[in-house]
């Protein structure tokens, strides 16, 4: 079994938002929707000794994904690599999945009346390329791959970072797989974000 | 989904999936969740064109995917060693920029009054004839000097087009809002001080930062934010440095992404950088942290200062020794071994052991006339200059923590490799020259010059196809301009540093337009995005436009300047439509036209078309501008666009077709490029001419001595004697009149005027600074960009926000003494107010969205430049495009300009900020920007076809 996901090294993310535009260009994401959004966390601390990081948020590829559980038609599903996807032909636009997602990373497409989300750029990875946000990333902060494969870019980045520097968004029982690297020398990880 | 709302987007997807299903192997394409892969089409339908971005000055390598003549995708080109295949938001927006529905598509002429935004399509022939006839008419009636040209950032493939045209024309003035306020002060001054070059990471210098063979201990980013201005090249490089263990110091009023990763962040109060530099110098001297050997051997710090010179120029050897004349003029030093004052000499293997200069001290010097004076060394002069700038005093002036300050200095000084990159911040207020001297002098004192890991390094640049003006890189056989024409450039005698780019002084130009003194500019040809958003105190220009007989604006889109000022609009090409040869470290990239839309023409060639029309009308200079014999080594104008392309290729000795087939390529291999000899750059023996054996002296630093020093000791020049000389004589081939104010050899701190005059009523010191979405005035009409950054953020501290009832995300109103009629641009000679009427237009101040953050000091604020192209849409008030959110109506083109460059004040102005409502008509919600989504069109070959 594979678990494909993206790992983001927040030590290297410089908050340029290029991944947002790369994603929108590649996937023709409509105005008003983002499949990937960079959130600024901080600055916090005592001026001028501040900390801050940028947190790119996209589908967290949950192992126990609420979105697929609540979908009444099977439009939201996990494929054989555990990638969470939406089959737009089956989507009836009920938006249950958008309400179920703990991270708000699903988008509504007003032109097609369906829910959309990060696909890990399957159209690119299936022909051997990187997801567009990974390829464009100015800080080389993003790593794509199978978390179950120690040889994948994503697994290697996590291994190099060490367990203390690896974080995940708050788990409310959904087991998010997307992982973030943040060293304590740069900033303390914030479990709750405003 | 009903069939009636089948959009272009869903149609494209539906058809693509049908085509893609067979090509995709993993099976994921059998469901409807993926967009089309261009790889899913037969591969031969997508042509990959290697080109070079020009969405900013970084010029990163980009691969354009072209399908059926249209650009469908952009991605980074791994052939570029600076970006390594990365691409930033600006570059990624190239397709939306190229196919923007509001492109200027054809030449247009204004219908009705200026400001009405009504236009009528005309032919290129009519446009060029109108301009050429007007120019010849002006030449006949009032002479050559009425020509005014301007340029600026955004869409400028050839920066030197305007001075080149003016030089061929024979006289007149050129400006851009940057220049004295952006890069010229550093690019002109720093090589004269450190003998190597400026350390602007934004301008793709500092090659050493990309060197895989060295480790850098400490990198100081002073007023520069690579993560913001160039994420894909400089920002990327700094990420790699930090990952490799480089310690960084960031000096910036804003808590930028690079500040957030720095070992020390010093949130300097805007406008006070030079005080901090003097503090660093004091600390280095007091704690003997400077590189004693380098200072003694390779700098002018041991040279004696002339005690009778009003500016503190270095003592000339001819004053001391009767056998020294103008023919062998030199500097002098006190030799500790002999106990005598001696004339400085260029070091060589056979004389270096006899050089024992005293670095500090005051010495009795017997002059040639028999009198005796006391003369101190330049380093002692620096010690005295810096004396008052203790850590505590600097902390108070700059509002930084004294312990952090000391930690930063020690990180900088106590390392094996490192140095300072000085960014644009200090160029933007009237200490531009002083900060450039200061930063370069600090690196000289530390010996961080041509050393492994130092930003100040002399790596070669690969070939580029810049068209240099006559006189810039050598003078043409035909004399296009007289010394009188050059001297008459507005403000040039006072601010001689402007000669570095052959520009004129902006406030003196404005003064001339408004008063006719010393002469009246009549015809203005402008090429850039939006002067109303980029010129300091831009409302002061409104009163100037009626004084011009003809104003031409050439750009890719209409801007506020088009509607406020222009009589004729010329459509220029986007970067995906232009040609330029771009060096990137050891690599050579080729920006090449991927398509050409409508009747747009590469700006570079438009000047050629106009020159040809003038030549046909009998303008001799323009006739000679097409004559290779008259031009000599200066490139001629071109009869066709193809001739220009051949010129581009000729810079690397190829034909255009050969270059297109070869680019991108490595000029030298990386191993060879990085195998630089470092100190050999100056410690190596000088090369002889024409392959003859070199003379016996070391190469040294030959570019730092003043023009009268014939016996050049080849030291780098932290004591800027050369600046003083330039102020008195200029740097032209002829002697210019002296400026009325001396150019001083050492940096000095001068408190910003606003804080002195208006600090009580306008309590916040405002800075501006780069963000990753825009280059100067660009991309405010780009839908995906504006969706992310719909309105300018106004950074204020939680304290100020609480005091004024402002919450994060509130709209706020910002006012300065310029919007409130307190500080009006005035006659430079009489002081009479000239632009009160224009400045009244912005009496309501401007608006932005509050970003309440600890990342700005409580008495500071930050706002980046902005304008609102939505007000140029049908039925809107076009004036609001520059009066609503434009921080440059707050900035200051009045008062003090520094002597060297005439820099005015864009940063370190004072403002007040209050809560406000969102201004009517501003596009803010994501779907507001839908009218600007791209509308791809066919390759027409452009207007030159």
Query: Tens digit of pLDDT for each residue in B71-104?
Result: 999 999 999 999 999 999 999 999 999 999 999 9
Span B794-801, average pLDDT = 98
Whether B533 and B619 map to the same domain: the answer is: yes
Chain A interface, mutation test: which of B71, B404, B793, B854, most A Cβ atoms within 10 Å? B854
The DSSP element (H or E) to which A84 belongs, if any, is: strand A84-86
Position B17 confidence tier, pLDDT thresholds 50, 70, 90: very low
Supply the DSSP string of B631-670, one letter for each residue: HTTSPPP-SSHHHHHHHHHHTTT--HHHHHHH-SEESS-H
Name the band, by pLDDT with cuts 50, 70 and 90, for residue B382.
very high
Q: Distance between CA atoms of B696 and B805, rounded to whole angstroms?
A: 72
CA dihedral A144, A36, A44, B246 (to 10 degrees): 40
Please say if the pLDDT value at position B130 is more than 60. yes
The pLDDT confidence band at residue B694, using thresholds 50, 70 and 90, is: low
Does B654 reside within a domain? no
- B768: domain CATH number? 2.40.40.20
8 Å CB contact of B926 and A126: no
Chains A and B form CB pairs within 8 A to the count of 190
Domain boundary among B591, B621, B638: B638
Domains held by chain B: number: 3
Examine the pLDDT at B32 and tell me if it is beyond 60. Answer: no
Sign of CA dihedral A92, A95, A97, A103: positive
Q: Residue ranges per domain, chain A?
A: 4-181
Using alpha carbons, select from B574, B582, B628, B627 the residue that is nearest to residue B603.
B574
Partner-chain contact A136 B926, CB within 8 Å: no
CA-nearest residue to B76 within chain A is A136
The SS3 assignment for B314 reads: strand
Look up the domain containing B809 and give its range. Answer: 753-932
Contact check, Cβ <8 Å, B236/A140: yes
Q: How far is CA A49 from the centre of its chain?
A: 30
**Spatial CB neighbours of B8, under 8 Å, sequence gap ≥ 6:** none
pLDDT tens-digit profile of B621-633? Answer: 999 999 999 999 9
DSSP code at position A163:
G
Q: What is the mean pLDDT of residues B920-938?
A: 97
Please say if the pLDDT value at position B346 is more than 50: yes
Beta partners for B69?
Answer: none
Q: Which residue has the tokens 């009045």?
A: B894
Residues of A in contact with B248 (CB under 8 A): none
Q: Among A20, A47, A75, which would you mutate to test the B interface (most chain B Cβ atoms within 10 Å of its Cβ)?
A: A47
Q: Which residues of A touch B783 (CB under 8 A)?
A: 31
pLDDT of residue B495: 98
Residues B916 and B804 in one domain: yes
- Residues in A closer than 8 angstroms to B31, CB to CB, are 85, 87-89
- For residue B86, being part of any structural domain is answered with no
Looking at every residue in chain B, the average pLDDT score rounds to: 94
Identify the closest residue of chain A to B932 by CA–CA distance: A31
With 80 as the cut, is the pLDDT of residue B913 above it? yes
Taking each helix axis as running N to C, give the angle between helix B273-286 and helix B432-445, from 0 to 180 degrees, rounded to the nearest 10.
20
B118 within a domain of the structure (yes/no) = yes
Mean pLDDT lowest among A31-40, B31-40, B806-815, B858-867:
B31-40
B141's CB contacts (< 8 A; 6+ apart) are none
Question: Does B9 sit within 8 Å of A140, measured CB to CB?
Answer: no
> Does residue B450 sit within a domain?
no
Backbone angles phi, psi at B588, to 5 degrees: -120, 120
Interface test with A, best of B33, B41, B246, B263 (most A CBs within 10 A): B33
Neighbour tally for B835: CB within 10 Å: 22
Residues B500 and B623 in one domain: yes
Query: Quick one: CA torsion of B289, B295, B296, B301, rounded to 10 degrees?
Result: -110
Residues 6+ apart with CB under 8 A from B836: B821, B824
The answer to whether B215 and B457 are in contact (CB under 8 A) is no
Question: What pLDDT was estimated at residue B5?
Answer: 35
Q: List the one residue out of B461, B497, B441 whose CA is nearest residue B720.
A: B441
Q: Are residues B8 and B131 in the same domain?
A: no
Q: Is 60 exceeded by the pLDDT of residue B9?
A: no
pLDDT of B689 > 70? The answer is no
**Given a cut of 80, is residue B683 above it in pLDDT?**
yes
Is B194 within the bounds of a domain?
A: no
CA-closest candidate to residue B241, choices B264, B212, B265: B212
The predicted pLDDT at position B27 comes to 33
B115 & B27 share domain: no
Nearest to B450 by CA among B424, B423, B412, B417: B417
The fold adopted by the segment(s) A4-181 is: Alpha-Beta Plaits (3.30.70)
**Angle of helix B161-169 relative to helix B603-616, nearest 10 degrees?**
10
Closest-approach residue (CA) in chain B for A113: B1
Task: Mutation target for A interface from B28, B43, B234, B253: give the one with most A CBs within 10 A.
Answer: B28
Chain B residues with beta carbon closer than 8 angstroms to that of A141: 239
Task: Let me know whether B26 and B148 are in one domain.
Answer: no
**Residue B486, pLDDT above cutoff 60:** yes
- Distance (Å) from the C-alpha of residue A173 to the closest C-alpha of chain B? 26
Reply yes or no on whether the pLDDT at B774 is more than 90.
yes
pLDDT band at B883 (very low <50, low <70, confident <90, very high): very high
- Mean pLDDT of all residues in B561-589: 97
Cβ contacts of A114 on chain B, cutoff 8 Å = 1
Note if the pTM is more than 0.80.
Answer: yes
- Residues of A within 8 A of B398 (CB-CB) are none
What integer is the mean pLDDT of B2-9? 35
């Amino acid at each position: 079994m594979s678990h494909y996901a993206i790992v983001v090294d927040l030590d290297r993310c410089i908050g340029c938002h290029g991944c947002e535009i790369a994603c929108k260009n590649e996937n023709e994401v409509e105005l008003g929707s983002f499949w990937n959004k960079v959130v600024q966390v901080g600055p916090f601390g005592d001026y001028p000794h501040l900390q801050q990081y940028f947190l790119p948020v996209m589908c967290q590829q949950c192992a126990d994904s609420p979105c697929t559980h609540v979908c009444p038609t099977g439009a939201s599903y996990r494929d054989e690599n555990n990638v969470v996807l939406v089959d737009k032909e089956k989507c009836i636009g009920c938006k249950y999945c958008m309400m179920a997602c703990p991270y708000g990373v699903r988008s509504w497409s007003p032109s097609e009346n369906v829910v959309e989300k990060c696909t890990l750029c399957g159209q690119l990875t299936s022909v051997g390329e990187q997801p567009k946000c990974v390829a464009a990333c100015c800080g080389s902060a993003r790593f794509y791959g199978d978390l179950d494969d120690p040889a994948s870019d994503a697994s290697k980045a996590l291994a190099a970072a060490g367990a203390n520097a690896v974080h995940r968004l708050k788990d409310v029982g959904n087991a998010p797989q997307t992982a973030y690297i943040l060293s304590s020398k740069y900033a303390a990880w914030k479990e709750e974000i405003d | 989904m009903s069939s009636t709302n089948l959009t272009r987007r869903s149609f494209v997807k539906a058809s693509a999936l049908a085509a893609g299903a067979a090509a995709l192997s993993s099976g994921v394409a059998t469901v409807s969740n993926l967009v089309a892969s261009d790889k899913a089409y037969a591969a031969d339908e997508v042509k990959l064109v290697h080109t070079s971005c020009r969405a900013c000055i970084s010029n990163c390598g980009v691969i354009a995917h072209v399908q059926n003549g249209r650009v469908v995708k952009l991605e980074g080109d791994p052939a570029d060693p600076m970006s390594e295949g990365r691409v930033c938001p600006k570059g990624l927006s190239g397709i939306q920029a190229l196919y923007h529905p509001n492109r200027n598509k054809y030449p247009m002429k204004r219908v009705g009054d200026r400001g009405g935004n009504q236009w009528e399509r005309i032919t290129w022939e009519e446009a060029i004839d109108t301009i050429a006839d007007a120019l010849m008419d002006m030449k006949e009636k009032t002479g050559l000097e009425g020509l005014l040209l301007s340029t600026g950032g955004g869409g400028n493939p050839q920066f030197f087009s305007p001075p080149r045209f003016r030089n061929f024309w024979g006289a007149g003035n050129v400006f851009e809002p940057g220049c004295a306020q952006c890069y010229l002060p550093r690019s002109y001054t720093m090589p004269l001080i450190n003998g190597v070059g400026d350390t602007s990471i934004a301008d793709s210098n500092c090659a050493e930062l990309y060197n895989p063979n060295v480790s850098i201990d400490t990198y100081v980013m002073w007023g520069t934010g690579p993560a913001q201005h160039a994420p894909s090249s400089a920002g990327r490089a700094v990420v790699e440095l930090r990952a490799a263990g480089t310690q960084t110091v960031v000096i910036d009023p804003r808590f930028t992404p690079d500040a957030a990763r720095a070992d020390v962040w010093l949130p300097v109060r805007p406008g006070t950088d030079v005080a901090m530099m003097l503090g660093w110098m004091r600390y280095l001297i007091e704690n003997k942290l400077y590189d004693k050997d380098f200072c003694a051997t390779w700098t002018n710090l041991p040279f004696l200062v002339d005690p009778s010179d009003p500016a503190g120029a270095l003592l000339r050897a001819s004053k001391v020794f009767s056998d020294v004349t103008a023919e062998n003029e030199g500097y002098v030093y006190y030799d500790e071994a002999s106990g005598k004052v001696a004339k400085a000499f260029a070091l060589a293997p056979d004389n270096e052991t006899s050089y024992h200069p005293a670095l500090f001290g005051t010495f009795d010097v017997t002059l040639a006339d028999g009198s005796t004076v006391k003369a101190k060394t330049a380093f002692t002069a620096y010690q005295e200059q810096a004396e008052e700038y203790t850590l505590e005093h600097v902390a108070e002036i700059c509002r930084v923590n004294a312990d952090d300050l000391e930690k930063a200095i020690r990180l900088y000084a106590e390392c094996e490799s490192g140095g300072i990159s000085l960014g644009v911040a200090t160029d933007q207020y009237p200490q531009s020259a002083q900060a450039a001297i200061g930063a370069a002098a600090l690196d000289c004192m530390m010996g961080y010059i041509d050393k492994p890991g130092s930003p100040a390094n002399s790596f070669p640049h690969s070939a580029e196809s810049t068209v240099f003006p006559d006189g810039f890189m050598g003078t043409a056989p035909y004399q296009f301009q007289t010394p009188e024409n050059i001297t008459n450039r507005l403000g040039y005698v006072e601010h001689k540093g402007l000669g570095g780019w052959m520009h004129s002084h902006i406030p003196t130009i404005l003064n001339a337009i408004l008063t006719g003194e010393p002469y009246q500019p009549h015809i203005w040809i402008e090429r850039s995005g939006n002067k109303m958003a980029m010129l300091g105190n831009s409302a002061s220009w409104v009163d100037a436009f009626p004084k011009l007989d003809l104003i031409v604006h050439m750009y890719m889109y209409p801007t506020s300047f088009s509607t406020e000022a222009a009589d004729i609009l010329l459509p220029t090409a986007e970067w995906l439509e232009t040609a330029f040869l771009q060096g990137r470290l050891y690599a050579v990239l080729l920006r090449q036209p991927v398509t050409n839309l409508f009747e747009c023409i590469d700006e570079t060639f438009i000047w050629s078309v106009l020159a040809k029309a003038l030549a046909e009308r009998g303008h001799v200079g323009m006739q000679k501008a097409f004559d290779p014999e008259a031009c000599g080594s200066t490139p001629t104008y071109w009869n066709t666009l193809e001739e220009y392309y051949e010129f581009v290729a000729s810079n690397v000795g190829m034909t255009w077709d050969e270059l297109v087939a070869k680019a991108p390529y490595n000029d030298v291999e990386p191993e060879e490029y990085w195998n630089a000899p470092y100190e050999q750059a100056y410690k190596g023996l000088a090369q002889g001419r024409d392959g003859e054996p070199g003379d016996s002296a070391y190469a040294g630093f030959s570019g730092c001595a003043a023009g009268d020093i014939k016996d050049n000791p080849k030291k780098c020049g932290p004591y800027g004697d050369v600046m003083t000389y330039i102020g008195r004589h200029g740097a032209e081939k002829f002697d210019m009149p002296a400026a009325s104010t001396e150019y001083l050899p050492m940096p000095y701190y001068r408190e910003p005027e606003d804080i002195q005059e208006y600090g009580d009523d306008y309590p916040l010191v405002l800075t501006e600074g780069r963000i990753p979405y825009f280059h100067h005035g660009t991309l405010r009409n780009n839908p995906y960009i504006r969706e992310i950054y719909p309105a300018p953020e106004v950074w204020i501290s939680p304290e100020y926000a609480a005091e004024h009832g402002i919450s994060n995300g509130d709209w706020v109103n910002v006012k300065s003494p310029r919007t409130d009629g307190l500080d009006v641009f005035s006659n430079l000679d009489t002081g009479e107010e000239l632009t009160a009427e224009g400045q009244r237009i912005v009496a309501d101040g401007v608006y932005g969205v509050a970003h309440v953050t600890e990342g700005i000091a409580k008495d500071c604020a930050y706002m980046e430049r902005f304008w609102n192209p939505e007000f140029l849409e049908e039925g809107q008030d076009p004036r609001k495009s520059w009066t609503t959110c434009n921080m440059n109506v707050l900035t200051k083109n009045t008062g003090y300009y520094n002597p060297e460059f005439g820099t005015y004040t864009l940063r370190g102005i004072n403002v007040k900020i209050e809560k406000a409502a969102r201004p009517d008509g501003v596009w803010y919600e994501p779907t507001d920007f839908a009218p600007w989504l791209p509308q791809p069109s066919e390759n027409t070959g452009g207007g030159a076809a």
